[in-house]
């Protein structure tokens, strides 16, 4: 029996170090990283088994970075969404987000909404960008929604209150950049994900490497607590 990598989740880490190694400002690493998102999204859209690709793009903790870097990331995101709309349409990618986008600028929020609306009928892949996302924040907001609705929570009904509701369990969780931590990503959804930590910095990551990781994933025995 082989595993299906239906939902792949990636912590795209190492942009700053990639730039530093080249004597460039950190933000150049983010720019190169956005190109890699394009390559990996195209690969996943054309993979027969991958249906959801969740990418950690900005965490609830990333606001701690210098103001100019945060501003650069916000602008880059807006530019990226505008530029990649034809790619989403060509490759059949539906765009979604998780996380609390309420603090974002009006124009970025508008761009996010336009991209979701324009791509809502695309069916080959759901690309989910985690924006101002934190696993704890997702759980707390979900619990508050349930509370408001007067629902007594269970593991089964909690799902519907999460940002990641409808996305299904993460099967394969990968972090580039060499750190071995989750940094508050997908705490609920990744309960039984197969974890991969690789040294490659995100701007150097390739579809070939993802292909190898998927091959490795297929060889793992997923027991889910059984025997
Ligand atoms: C990940 O790369 C991208 C974001 C967090 C937005 P980093 O910017 O964290 O790069 P390093 O880890 O400092 O190299
Ligand atoms: C995690 O990377 C967040 C994203 C990739 C968006 P960080 O670089 O922010 O995480 P830490 O600081 O190494 O834990
Ligand atoms: Mg980092």
> Ligand 2 pocket, 80 CB below 6 A?
no
CATH of the domain at 42: 3.40.1180.10
CA distance 83 to 89: 12
- Span from the CA of 176 to the centroid of ligand 3 (angstroms): 9
Asked if residue 145 is part of any domain, the answer here is no
Kindly tell me the burial class for residue 163, based on how many C-beta atoms sit within 10 Å of its own C-beta (0-12, 13-18, 19 or more): buried
- Is 35 among the domain residues? yes
Q: How far is CA 109 from CA 77, 97, 100, 200, in A?
A: 11, 11, 11, 32
Residue 91 inside a domain? The answer is: yes
Can you give the residue range of the structural domain that contains 48? 7-135+170-219
Domain-embedded: residue 160: no
- The pLDDT of residue 6 is 98
Q: What is the spatial distance between Cα 208 and Cα 8, in angstroms, rounded to a whole number?
A: 15
Contact 59 CB / ligand 2 (< 6 Å): yes
Q: Domains in the chain: how many in total?
A: 1
Domain assignment present for residue 2? The answer is: no
- pLDDT of the residue at 1: 59
| Residue 150 within a domain | no
In a domain, 56, yes or no: yes
Instruction: pLDDT tens for the chain, 227 residues: list them.
Output: 589 999 999 999 999 999 999 999 999 999 999 999 999 999 999 999 999 999 999 999 999 999 999 999 999 999 999 999 999 999 999 999 999 999 999 999 999 999 999 999 999 999 999 999 999 999 999 999 999 999 999 999 999 999 999 899 999 999 999 999 999 999 999 999 999 999 999 999 999 999 999 999 999 999 999 99
The best mutation among 10, 11, 12, 15 to test binding of ligand 1, ranked by most ligand atoms within 8 Å of the C-beta, falls on 15
Name which of 219, 218, 182 is nearest 197 in CA terms. 182
154 located within any domain = no
Q: Rounded to whole angstroms, what are the CA distances from 94 to 11, 53, 67? A: 20, 10, 31
Q: What is the Å distance from ligand 1's center to 77 Cα?
A: 14
Catalytic one of 3, 15, 46, 62: 62
Nearest CA to ligand 2 atom 2: 13
Note the pLDDT of residue 2.
80
pTM over 0.85: yes
Element (H, E) at 185: none
């Amino acid at each position: 029996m082989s595993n299906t990598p239906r939902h792949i989740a990636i912590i795209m880490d190492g942009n700053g170090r990639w730039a530093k190694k080249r004597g460039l400002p950190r933000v150049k690493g983010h720019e190169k990283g956005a190109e890699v998102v394009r390559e990996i999204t195209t690969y996943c859209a054309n993979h027969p088994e991958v249906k959801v690709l969740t990418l950690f793009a900005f965490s609830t903790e990333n606001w701690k970075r210098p103001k100019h870097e945060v501003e650069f990331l916000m602008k880059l995101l807006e530019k990226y969404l505008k530029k990649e709309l034809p790619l989403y349409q060509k490759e059949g990618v539906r765009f979604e987000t998780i996380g609390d986008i309420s603090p974002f600028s009006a124009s970025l929020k508008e761009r996010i909404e336009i991209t979701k609306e324009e791509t809502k009928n695309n069916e080959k892949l759901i690309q989910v960008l985690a924006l101002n996302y934190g696993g704890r924040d997702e759980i707390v907001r979900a619990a508050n929604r349930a509370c408001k609705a007067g629902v007594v929570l269970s593991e089964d009904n909690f799902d519907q209150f999460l940002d990641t509701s409808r996305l299904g369990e993460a099967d394969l969780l990968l972090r580039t950049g060499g750190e071995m931590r989750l940094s508050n990503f997908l705490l609920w959804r990744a309960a039984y994900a197969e974890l991969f930590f690789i040294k490659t910095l995100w701007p150097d990551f390739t579809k070939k490497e993802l292909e190898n990781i998927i091959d490795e994933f297929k060889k793992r025995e997923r027991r889910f607590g059984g025997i």
